[in-house]
Structure 1
Amino acid sequence: MRILVTGKNGQVDTALQVLGDQLGLEIIRIGRPEVDLAQIATLEDTVRNGRPDAIISSAAYTAVDKAETEAELAQSINGDAPGELARLAKELNIPILHLSTDYVFAGDKDGVYNENDAPAPVSVYGRTKLSGEEQIAAQTDNYVILRTAWVYSPYGNNFVKTMLRLGETRDQINVVADQHGCPTYAPEIARVVLAIAQQVAIDEDPTLRGIFHLTGQGETTWAGFAKAIFEGSGNRGGKKVQVQPIPSSDYPTPAKRPTNSRLSGEKLDKTYGLVLDPWRISLDSCLDHLITLQNPTEG
């Protein structure tokens, strides 16, 4: 099976490549300089020449704060490019799977968000990601949109790697404690996305299409996540670092973050029988890669 994936250096596209190789799938990653998602005219020839059986739209403009002043660029990458990919998927008669975000919600709900909750993004990033969802749905019925959140992995830039880097030179780190979400491991995302891609490529059942939420099991705050990171690092011989919980008001950012980013994976489980591991288990796997495997004990 040939799967075209947008992105060459991101967390998810890297995880897709690693797992795809293990499963014997042909993963074709596209990105700059050959393809620039900000210039959608560069997509058509590459997509057609790739002759894919499915498209996975995983690349995105993810500089949340910078997007507040680069709205046009964020819209091109997060909104218009997925729409063009969906148009091409429709013409090629293949499914498109697209990764979206918790930022499409306002974050003011008391409980977990499900797929029937109305989006109400409060940032440019969230609005452009919602635009991508809408443009895909306008172009084709053969789509699976997967909203995820708080993504981390051994690859690329993410919260886990940032905390470990900051911990090298600090004994205490202030971390926001009033934003709640579900940390999600990129290799787990890859496992689920590739399973879905293989199924929808051969099964036309409309109930397999639509919007689904895809996050690690369990919830925490950024401060709770940071504490777990340093606990796990300490258990692997790393430095002990104290996490000081602070309110969001003490760490102002250009873009507003959702206070509640918790997403329910019930629909994904009922439809596909797919559930991600609890985030603490996945965090252990990530730390094993980042610490234990990169710094093996000398014998």
Structure 2
Amino acid sequence: MAGTHPPVIGAGTGVTRQSGKDRQQQPMKILIIGGSGQTGSRLQQRLDDSSLEYFAPSRELLDLTDSRQLQEVFDSYRPDILVNAAGYRNADQAETEPSRCFALNRDAVAELATLCSQYGSILFQISSYMVFDGKKNDAYTEKDAVNPLGVLGGSYWQGEQQIRERCPRHIILRVGWMISERKFELLRNIIDQLKNPSPFNVLGNRYGNPTPADDAARVITAVIQQLDCGAEPWGTYHYGGVNAVSESELARTILREVAEYDEVATDQLNVLTAAVDDESRKFPLNSRLDSTRLLHTFGIHANDWTVGLSRLIKSFYV
């Protein structure tokens, strides 16, 4: 890869941008790491409809933990914005292999932040509600103190800290409960269990903002477009779908949607109490995020997650 220019996907016509005293006509170049993931793949689809250039190397071309490969892709592509949608996401598995979790979510992020600072790139990092302990009664704002419960949450938080220390021009976007068609994610797990004849358990006292991956990609694209116009609103932001719900309410909504296309038992949900969650304190009981700062800064409104959920479940069956 060294010495070559990676292919540009979705090349646009360019926009007018300010550089010192000179105004130059050139397209903003976006590097996406984690382009094959649930958010990264949706982001590519969004950018295909825009006038922005992007390059999303596969895992085979770019190993997030390989310093040499990271340096080479920066040398060859020289992005204006790096969107890091990659990372370690499995909370249960993180407890058994913390070193790998921190290598991806902290150490690799630190290196990306250093490279972005060296090359003058903006770093757009996807983070999570899991930096909070869930003890607050209301939705979390960006001003609330963090207190991660498990390894995964701790890795997110330490990765954020590395960015703040190394790369002043950054956007950190903490998102709510991500739902997509990807295997092992919340939606897929619930659908799979709904089709199992045995009842399964969901928590009636764990609350959060379901956030379809396509909706998260919409938000990221909207922010990027404003950065492309010269906005400099660096810092941390929250986003989650409108109307926070309990895990059991989400499962019931999924049950109703799935029943439109598949035979599922309507009495399979066992609603449990906080005592069950106490056995494993990896997940905060309150995962609700307040998106007000994002709205006031970028004018981006939160979408109704039920619309995205309905469309997503339909895609499973139709």
- TM-score, normalised to structure 1, is 0.90
Secondary structure at the aligned position of 2:91 is classed as coil
Q: Could you list the per-position Cα deviations for residues 66-86 of structure 1 after superposition, in whole angstroms to 9, with x for gaps in the alignment?
A: 212222211110012122112
Counterparts in 2 of 1:213-292, with a 5 A limit? 213-242=238-267, 243-250=269-276, 254-291=280-317
The one-letter amino acid paired with 2:289 is L
Q: Residues 50-69 of structure 1, C-alpha deviation per residue, up to 9 Å, x if partnerless?
A: 23221101111011122122
Asked if 1:188 corresponds to 2:215, the answer is: yes
**Residue of structure 1 in register with 2:55 after alignment:** 28
1:202-229 deviation line (CA, Å, top 9, x unaligned): 4143xx1100001111111111111000
Q: 1:85-100 maps to which residues of 2 (within 5 A)?
A: 85-100=112-127
Which structure is richer in relative contact order (CA contacts within 8 A, separation 6 or more)?
A: 1
Letter in 2 for 1:219: A
Q: 1:125 and 2:152 equivalent?
A: yes
Do the aligned partners of 1:65 and 1:253 also contact (CA within 8 Å) in 2? no
- Cα gap change, 1:31 to 1:248, in 2 (>3 Å): farther
**8 Å CA contact retained: 2:84, 2:124:** yes
User: 2: distance between equivalents of 1:114 and 1:82?
Assistant: 23
Conservation of the 8 A alpha-carbon contact between 1:185 and 1:283:
yes
Aligned-partner Cα distance in 2 for 1:255–1:49: 43
Deviation for aligned residue 1:240: 4.0
- Whole-Å separation in 2 of the counterparts to 1:125 and 1:150: 14
CA RMSD of aligned residues (A): 1.9
Question: Are 2:226 and 2:298, in contact at CA under 8 Å, matched by a contact in 1?
Answer: no
Name whichever of 143-152 and 89-98 sits farther off.
89-98
| Aligned partner (choices 69, 88, 112) of residue 42 of structure 1 | 69
Q: Quick one: distance in 2 between partners of 1:125 and 1:281?
A: 29
CA contact (8 A) 1:53 1:201 kept: no
Choose from 37, 61, 83 the match for 1:56: 83
Runs of 5+ consecutive residues of structure 1 not aligned to the other structure: 294-299
Aligned-residue sequence identity (percent) comes to 28
- Look up the SS of the partner of 1:3 in the other structure: strand
Assess if the C-alpha contact under 8 Å between 1:96 and 1:143 holds in 2: yes
Alpha-carbon separation, structure 2, partners of 1:227 and 1:203: 44
Alignment deviations for residues 243-297 of structure 1 (CA, whole Å, 9 cap, x no partner): 2211253367655210110010000001101022112122112122222x3xxxx
Deviation track 1:23-50 (CA, whole Å, cap 9, x = no partner) reads 2433322342332223344311123322
Determine the C-alpha separation between the residues in 2 that align with 1:125 and 1:41: 26
Q: Which amino acid aligns with 1:246?
A: L
The 3 A distance-change label for structure 1 pair 135 and 50 is same
- Following TM superposition, the consecutive aligned residue runs of length 4 or more in structure 1 with deviations greater than 6 angstroms are none
Determine if contact 1:144/1:212 at 8 Å carries over to the other structure: yes
Secondary structure of 1:169 counterpart: coil
Report SS of the residue matched to 1:42. Answer: helix
Given candidates 172, 175, 184, the residue that maps to 1:148 is 175
Residue 199 of structure 1 corresponds to which residue in structure 2?
Answer: 226
Amino acid at match of 1:79: R
Structure 2 counterpart SS, 1:99:
strand
TM, length-normalised to structure 2: 0.85
Matched to 1:223, the amino acid is S
Structure 2 segments unaligned to the other structure (5+ residues): 1-27
Does structure 1 conserve the Cα–Cα contact (< 8 Å) formed by 2:134 and 2:287? Answer: yes
Q: Give 1:274's aligned amino acid.
A: I
Q: How far did residue 163 of structure 1 move?
A: 1.4
Aligned-partner Cα distance in 2 for 1:252–1:262: 19
